[in-house]
């Protein structure tokens, strides 16, 4: 008899998404700023993105994605121990979007907090959820990535406004039952950061350093500022390195990975990561052509679409990586279980 106590495993058991119905195509964007469909497709791979209607917000999208994820996992909201919302554009500075979601979905027994790691937010939240479950502090956790990027984009800046879109994705993470082979496992997560590069991707105003004033509004300091080439290099190096590190941490080889889901920022960034890893293109999932960069929502939306399209199936091993402002980045390797969307 084996007397060793096994640590609980953390598994993704449900997924949900919410995408605004309004589609903004590259052709329509070309009427707003000096750009073209050709330029955007060649430099980014993006063809269209979703834009929130005035009544759609980070919270409203988080609620819908959460309800869908709970239904997908067949779990009642009152069973949740924790709600984590990864977002860089929360409903308010405070209270947290996670608390407002907790109330709206009826997660009456859950703690709730927001997590800010920009476009890497979902991977960071996944690592927190996994740690809570493995340590036995929680059994059922809802992780949300929800972003209303259209509210912080400078629609006069063609170098950034073509890149982003709105949307939300949510995942239910549960402690796997011993012997339940249908449940997958978040096998490992690694996180990294380099605050020395903070200046390359930020919203300068609205915090304690530069509170909102007439001047900050006039100077357009409440919008995303980005040094494109620096972000590009950081994202390729960072995500490729994170993939290597997470595989090393689990003693896995690249051949053991069936699918790579990198943060959906730019097709050229994903291609850069793929070629550094020397992965076949057939193992790379991409849906950014439809949604643009939805920041912390991009990975759960991509996982959802990959399952819906039957690209990601039970028994496969998927590696995900996120990269964003901070710089903050990380990767996770997940044995995929039975997830119905
Ligand atoms: N349409 C037409 N021309 C444009 C546009 C546009 N939308 N945007 C920039 N240009 C012009 C520039 O003005 C420049 O013109 P110039 O040579 O006359 O000065 C020219 O295109 C080349 O600009 P670069 O910045 O060198 O173009 P590059 O090939 O680097 O592509 C891009 C720009 C797409 C922003 C790229 O740097 C990039 O993808 N960076 C990563 C950004 C990213 O994904 N950020 C998302 C947030 S972070 C994250 O999620 C990882």
Name residues whose C-beta falls within 8 Å of residue 169's C-beta, 6 or more positions apart in sequence. Answer: 15, 16, 17, 18, 65, 122, 144, 145, 146, 294, 297, 298, 299, 300, 301, 303, 304
Do 150 and 220 fall within a single domain?
A: no
**Is 35 among the domain residues?**
yes
Residues across the chain:
341
pLDDT at 218 over 90: yes
pTM of structure: 0.96
User: Cα dihedral sign for 214, 206, 262, 61?
Assistant: negative
Q: Examine the fold and report which residue of 181, 197, 213 is the final residue of a domain before the chain moves on.
A: 181
Q: Which residue has the tokens 């476009």?
A: 119
Do 299 and 194 fall within a single domain?
A: yes
Catalytic, out of 26, 119, 140, 287: 119
What is the domain range of residue 279? 185-335
Q: Is the CB–ligand 1 distance for residue 235 below 6 Å?
A: yes
Q: Is the CB–ligand 1 distance for residue 264 below 6 Å?
A: no
Vertex 24, ends 22 and 28: CA angle to 5°?
135
**Is 341 among the domain residues?**
no
Do 212 and 297 fall within a single domain?
A: yes
* Distance in Å, CA 21 to ligand 1 centroid: 27
pLDDT score for 3: 43
Q: Is the CB–ligand 1 distance for residue 43 below 6 Å?
A: yes
Q: Is the CB–ligand 1 distance for residue 231 below 6 Å?
A: yes
Number of domains in the chain: 2
Do 169 and 293 fall within a single domain?
A: no
State percent of the chain over pLDDT 70: 99
pLDDT at 1 over 50: no
Conformation bin of residue 125: beta by default, left when phi > 0, alpha when psi is -120 to 50:
alpha
Angstrom distance (rounded) from CA 48 to CA 90: 23
**Is 3 among the domain residues?**
no
- Over residues 203-215, the pLDDT tens digits come to 999 999 999 999 9
Where residue 183 falls among pLDDT bands split at 50, 70, 90? confident
Assess whether 85 carries a catalytic annotation: no
The CATH number given to whatever domain includes residue 229 is: 3.40.47.10
- In the structure encoding, which two tokens stand for residue 86, read together? 């990864």
**Is 49 among the domain residues?**
yes
pLDDT score for 215: 98
What is the arithmetic mean of pLDDT over 263-285?
97
Do 83 and 101 fall within a single domain?
A: yes
Angstrom distance (rounded) from CA 254 to CA 26: 35
Residue 325 Cα: closest atom of ligand 1: 48
Do 173 and 204 fall within a single domain?
A: no
pLDDT at 138 over 90: yes
Do 217 and 253 fall within a single domain?
A: yes
Name residues whose C-beta falls within 8 Å of residue 271's C-beta, 6 or more positions apart in sequence. Answer: none
Assess whether 222 carries a catalytic annotation: no
- Over residues 43-92, the pLDDT tens digits come to 999 999 999 999 999 999 999 999 999 999 999 999 999 999 999 999 99
pLDDT score for 113: 98
Where residue 5 falls among pLDDT bands split at 50, 70, 90? low
**Is 259 among the domain residues?**
yes
Mean residue pLDDT across the chain: 96
Sort strands 225-226 and 259-262 into parallel, antiparallel or unpaired.
unpaired
* Distance in Å, CA 163 to ligand 1 centroid: 9
**Is 83 among the domain residues?**
yes
Do 141 and 258 fall within a single domain?
A: no
Q: Examine the fold and report which residue of 154, 181, 208 is the final residue of a domain before the chain moves on.
A: 181
Q: Is the CB–ligand 1 distance for residue 233 below 6 Å?
A: no
Do 25 and 172 fall within a single domain?
A: yes
Do 148 and 251 fall within a single domain?
A: no
- Over residues 284-302, the pLDDT tens digits come to 999 999 999 999 999 999 9
**Is 2 among the domain residues?**
no
Closest to 72 in 3D by CA, of 259, 304, 287: 304
**Is 340 among the domain residues?**
no
pLDDT score for 264: 98
Assess whether 263 carries a catalytic annotation: yes
pLDDT score for 95: 98
Name residues whose C-beta falls within 8 Å of residue 244's C-beta, 6 or more positions apart in sequence. Answer: 277
pLDDT at 2 over 50: no
Do 133 and 215 fall within a single domain?
A: no
State percent of the chain over pLDDT 90: 95
Do 17 and 99 fall within a single domain?
A: yes
Q: Examine the fold and report which residue of 137, 157, 181 is the final residue of a domain before the chain moves on.
A: 181
Residue 229 Cα: closest atom of ligand 1: 37
Centre a 10 Å sphere on the Cβ of residue 107 and count the other Cβ atoms it contains: 25
């Amino acid at each position: 008899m084996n007397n060793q106590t096994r640590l609980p495993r953390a598994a993704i058991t449900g997924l949900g998404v919410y995408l605004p119905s309004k589609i903004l195509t590259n052709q329509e964007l070309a009427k707003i700023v000096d750009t073209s469909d050709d330029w955007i497709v060649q430099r980014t791979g993006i063809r269209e993105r979703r834009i929130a209607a005035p009544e759609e917000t980070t919270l409203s999208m988080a609620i819908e994605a959460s309800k869908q994820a709970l239904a997908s996992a067949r779990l009642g909201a009152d069973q949740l121990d924790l709600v984590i919302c990864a977002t860089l554009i929360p409903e308010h500075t405070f209270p947290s979007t996670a608390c407002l979601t907790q109330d709206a979905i009826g997660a009456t027994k859950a703690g709730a907090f927001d997590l800010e790691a920009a476009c890497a937010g979902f991977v960071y939240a996944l690592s927190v959820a996994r740690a809570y479950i493995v340590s036995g502090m929680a059994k059922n956790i809802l992780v949300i990535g929800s972003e209303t990027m259209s509210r912080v984009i400078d629609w006069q800046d063609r170098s950034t406004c073509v890149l982003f879109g709105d949307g939300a994705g949510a995942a239910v993470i549960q402690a796997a039952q011993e012997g339940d082979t249908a449940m997958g496992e978040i096998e490992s997560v690694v996180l990294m950061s380099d605050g020395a590069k903070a200046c390359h991707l930020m919203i300068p105003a609205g915090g304690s350093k530069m509170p909102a004033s007439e001047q900050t509004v006039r100077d357009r300091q409440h919008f995303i500022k980005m040094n494109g080439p620096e972000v590009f290099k950081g994202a390729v190096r960072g995500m490729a390195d994170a993939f290597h590190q997470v595989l090393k941490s689990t003693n896995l080889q690249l051949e053991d990975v069936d699918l790579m889901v990198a943060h959906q920022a730019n097709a050229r960034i994903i291609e850069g990561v793929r070629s550094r890893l020397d992965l076949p293109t057939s193992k790379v999932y991409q849906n950014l052509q439809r949604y643009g960069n939805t920041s912390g929502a991009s990975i759960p939306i991509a996982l959802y679409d990959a399952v819906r399209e039957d690209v990601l199936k039970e028994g496969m091993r998927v590696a995900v990586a996120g990269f964003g402002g901070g710089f903050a980045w990380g990767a996770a390797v997940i044995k995929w279980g039975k997830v119905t969307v």
